[in-house]
Amino acid sequence: MRFLPLRAKIRPVADPAREEGNRFMKVTINRSVLELVEGDITLQDTEAIVNAANPSLLGGGGVDGAIHRAGGPQILEECKAIGGCPTGEARITSGGRLKARYVIHAVGPVYKDGRQREPEWLAGAYWSSLELASLNKIKSVAFPAISTGVYGYPMEAAAEVALTTVRRYLEGHPEIQRVRFVLFGTMAYEVYERALRAMKEEGRLKEGRPM
């Protein structure tokens, strides 16, 4: 029998987000942790994951399709009972067969030219999702990059809105302990990482100590 060097046996305590994703960044905001990870939202172990839904809440492609496929038919049944959701808002269902206990269905805007109140609607989708999390005593939430796929929102602009909105919410709501952005692919991850680094360097993050 071959003995492994002792070093190989000692595994550092992994950050939960690190397990599935490739790249990872973490900052603290007030009492909460904000993480960026490259990965698949359906695999996340946060209490809630957020779906990039449409106003019908009846499913679709992209993240929406992946969540309904992975979570099973119960989610769609609950969505049907809710009966839809306006742009800029969110609704909550159970997580069906997902690891996450809840799915928060957020409806971002379709991007036209950036002058049709798209930033406001997008911020609303993030803010409403976090309000629902607070209301339901959910302490950890994973978001995809809402509106940046089928809905055509440019990634840089969307990252700025997403990070600013979440930062503002966490500054006033320490009950949400962890927010994770799950970025699909290297390009999306790098855009978010650049935006978060810029925020940090410009002193726009109120970093504190997590609970």
Binding site for ligand AR6 (CB under 6 A): 40-42, 52-54, 60-64, 66, 108, 144-151, 182, 184, 188
Cβ–Cβ < 8 Å for 96, 48: no
Which token pair is 17? Answer: 């987000």
- The nearest distance, CB 39 to ligand AR6, in angstroms, is 7
For residues 63 and 116, the answer to whether their CB atoms sit within 8 Å is: no
* Shortest distance, position 203 Cβ to ligand AR6, whole Å: 28
Catalytic pick among 15, 40, 64, 113? 64
C-beta closer to ligand AR6: residue 169 or 181: 181
Q: Tell me which DSSP letter residue 84 carries.
A: -
CB of 36 to ligand AR6, least distance (A): 12
- Chain centroid offset of residue 102 CA: 13
Find out whether 86 and 55 touch, Cβ atoms under 8 Å: yes
By beta-carbon proximity to ligand AR6, the closer residue of 118 and 205 is: 118
Closest approach, Cβ 11 to ligand AR6, in A, equals 26
Query: Given the complex with ligand AR6, which of 47 and 118 has the nearer CB atom?
Result: 118
Looking at beta carbons only, is 27 or 110 nearer to ligand AR6? 110
**Catalytic residue flag (residue 40):** no
- 60-66's contacts with Cβ under 8 Å and 24+ in sequence apart are 60/150, 61/149, 61/150, 62/149, 62/150, 63/144, 63/149, 63/184, 66/40, 66/41, 66/42
Q: Which residues are catalytic?
A: 64
